[in-house]
Copies of this chain bind each other. A is one copy, B any other.
């Protein structure tokens, strides 16, 4: 009966917590269940994370570390749609529920909230700036739009749909609305014909 220690055990705990998150969501994430699934006990968990919220954030990180690649379809609209669809898939149930759950269970711990913010927020700004930069080069977007707050408007609006409504997946129509009514007009060098 080899007894796991250190990093190996830690990884097993995180994986167990991530599995529980996917299966039941954050509100149902109990330390006992995580310990049981990981084949250990609560002590081993509390030695590493101070409370349930911290474990939840660590486990969420495990879920969303998928690399986000900047698409290159040759035109801005295609790139933006591709990115949003990619992120829509990525956020689709149960991750949106998990994120929404975490966002509150943590309200009183700004440090954890900041950690969580990096997981999905401005962490993705780079990709958006890349896509937008190519569009500027093609004359599809104005250079002044190359600012983080502008570049990430689309994903912010999409995420907003998840977080403030209870949705588990956002309709394609909503995505197109965000792109055609908001994002493209916002960054465009000149207004579209419509």
Per-residue B-contact encoding for A82-119, CB less than 8 Å = 1, 0 else:
00000000000000010011111111111001100100
**A150 interfacial by beta-carbon distance below 8 Å:** yes
A153 at the interface (CB under 8 A from B): yes
The DSSP consensus for interface residues of chain A is: helix
How many residues on A have C-beta within 8 angstroms of the other chain's C-beta atoms? Answer: 44
The reply to whether A103 and B153 form a contact with Cβ atoms under 8 Å apart is: no
Is A194 interfacial (CB 8 A cutoff)?
A: yes
User: Which residues of the other chain, B, contact A185 by a CB distance below 8 angstroms?
Assistant: 144-145, 150, 186
Contact A157 B164 (CB under 8 A): no
Which residues of B are found within 8 Å of A97, using beta-carbon distances?
107-108
Is B108 touching A164 in the complex (CB atoms < 8 A)? no
- Nearest CB in chain B: distance from A119 CB, A: 10
The 8 Å CB contact of A166, one of B113, B156, B157, is B113
Binding site for B on A (CB under 8 A): 25-27, 97, 100-110, 113-114, 117, 121, 142, 144-145, 147, 149-150, 153, 156-157, 159-160, 163-166, 177-178, 181-182, 185-186, 189-191, 194
Question: Can you name 13 extra interface pairs (CB under 8 A) apart from A100-B104, A156-B160?
Answer: A26-B107, A27-B108, A100-B103, A100-B107, A101-B104, A113-B165, A114-B166, A117-B164, A144-B185, A149-B181, A150-B185, A153-B153, A159-B164
